[in-house]
């Protein structure tokens, strides 16, 4: 069983189903509305936990009903929430998701307590970081917290995984402490300037990331699949063909599932990638973020059909 420590965001998601995305200045009616626990950090942690990883979370929520909801949902998934601080001054993070009839989404995020996550919060979780197989982070929390978590991880031989989303300028020190970076094709282009079109452009991107200090790369390419490049080789793993209903947590499900199965030396990366692709393909067939994330038993069952 892998031990995974997630340093990241916790959001209450409100999803509004619409026929199509509104034009600038246009008002349209929604077809439905629902709320659920989410946030990239929470999604990735729940995905890892449901796939069997022993999961610990470092984050912040507001001392409010949204924060209580987030803590309860993580606990119900067997995640250790002792590393989550309740902030009495700032509200719990939230996201407004517009979801069209084709399963595509646009998301507005309010950072809230997520943006208060500090180096002190990370230092308080030093033991859990030291004992982990993987430390996973994204960019819905301050990079200073991510940097400190990765420093502690590398001092103790722990493998680090960075999901550079949402795309932004990255502190070079964070990249130098990243063992595996997992952007989608848009985020990869934003960071390298290379448009992802084919295998050649993916290999060029891998070389660019290596120049930045990251020697292992996975680029997720939506419904097409995922490309990986490590020090031992590269390949493209096709995605499973499904009818997508809601793609909100697809990438996060992929990352959490991958962290639950991957060996720290990445020697089983293709097998772990296939598992993660299967988990993601199940997630997009259901509504919501956390509610859509499958268990290990569901992933295995789907693999046998």
Query: Which of 85, 88, 121, 120 minimizes the C-alpha distance to 10?
Result: 85
Which residues neighbour 128 within 8 Å (Cβ) at sequence distance 6 or greater?
5, 56, 58, 80, 83
| 245: Cα separation from own chain's centroid | 19
Percent of the chain with pLDDT over 70: 100
Q: Please tell me whether 13 is known to bind a ligand.
A: yes
Neighbours of 96 (CB within 10 A): 14
Percent of the chain with pLDDT over 90: 84
Q: Please tell me whether 163 is known to bind a ligand.
A: no
Query: Which of 214, 209, 177, 213 minimizes the C-alpha distance to 196?
Result: 209
* Domains of the chain, first to last: 5-9+39-90+115-303 (3.40.1190.20)
Tell me the C-alpha to C-alpha distance, in Å, between residue 104 and each of 38, 40, 99.
17, 17, 6
Q: Please tell me whether 25 is known to bind a ligand.
A: no
Q: Please tell me whether 224 is known to bind a ligand.
A: yes
Q: What pLDDT digit, counting tens, does each position of 244-300 carry?
A: 887 878 999 999 999 999 999 999 999 999 999 999 999 999 877 788 999 999 999
- Per annotation, catalytic residue among 80, 100, 252, 265: 252
User: pLDDT band for position 109 (50/70/90)?
Assistant: confident
Please give the average per-residue pLDDT across 136-145, as a whole number.
97
Distance separating alpha carbons of residues 197 and 200, to the nearest angstrom = 8
Q: What pLDDT digit, counting tens, does each position of 112-125 carry?
A: 999 999 999 999 99
Catalytic residue flag (residue 252) = yes
Please give the average per-residue pLDDT across 142-164, as a whole number.
98
Query: Which of 175, 260, 186 minimizes the C-alpha distance to 4?
Result: 260
User: pLDDT band for position 107 (50/70/90)?
Assistant: confident
Query: Which of 36, 109, 105, 131 minimizes the C-alpha distance to 74?
Result: 36
So what's the pLDDT on residue 104? 83
Q: Where are the beta strands (DSSP E) in the chain?
A: 3-7, 11-17, 32-38, 54-62, 80-87, 93-99, 105-110, 134-137, 159-162, 180-181, 217-221, 225-230, 233-238
Q: Give the containing element (helix H, strand E) for 73.
A: helix 65-76
pTM of the predicted protein model = 0.93
């Amino acid at each position: 069983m892998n031990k995974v420590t997630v340093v990241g965001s916790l959001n209450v998601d409100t999803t509004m189903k619409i026929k199509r995305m509104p034009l600038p200045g246009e008002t349209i009616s929604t077809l439905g509305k629902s709320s659920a626990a989410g946030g990239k950090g929470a999604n990735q942690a729940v995905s890892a936990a449901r796939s069997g990883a022993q999961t610990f979370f470092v984050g912040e929520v507001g001392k409010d009903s949204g924060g209580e909801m987030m803590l309860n949902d993580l606990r119900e998934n067997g995640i250790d929430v002792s590393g989550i601080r309740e902030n009495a001054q700032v509200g719990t993070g939230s996201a407004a998701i517009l979801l069209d009839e084709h399963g595509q989404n646009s998301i507005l995020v309010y950072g809230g307590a997520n943006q208060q996550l500090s180096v002190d919060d990370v230092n308080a979780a030093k033991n859990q970081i030291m004992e982990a197989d993987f430390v996973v982070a994204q960019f819905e929390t301050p990079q200073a917290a991510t940097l400190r978590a990765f420093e502690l991880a590398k001092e103790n031989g722990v493998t680090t995984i960075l999901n550079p989303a949402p795309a932004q300028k990255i502190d070079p020190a964070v990249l130098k402490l990243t063992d595996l970076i997992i952007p989608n094709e848009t985020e990869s282009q934003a960071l390298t300037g290379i448009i992802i079109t084919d295998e050649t452009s993916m290999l060029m991107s891998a070389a660019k990331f290596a120049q930045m200090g990251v020697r292992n790369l996975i680029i997720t390419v939506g419904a097409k699949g995922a490309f990986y490049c490590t020090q031992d080789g590269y390949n493209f793993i096709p995605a499973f063909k499904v009818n997508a209903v809601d793609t909100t947590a697809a990438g996060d499900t992929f990352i959490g599932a991958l962290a639950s199965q991957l060996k720290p030396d990445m020697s089983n990366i293709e097998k772990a990638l296939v598992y993660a692709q299967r988990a993601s393909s199940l997630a997009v067939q259901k509504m919501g973020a956390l509610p859509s994330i499958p268990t290990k038993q569901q992933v295995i069952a789907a693999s046998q059909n």
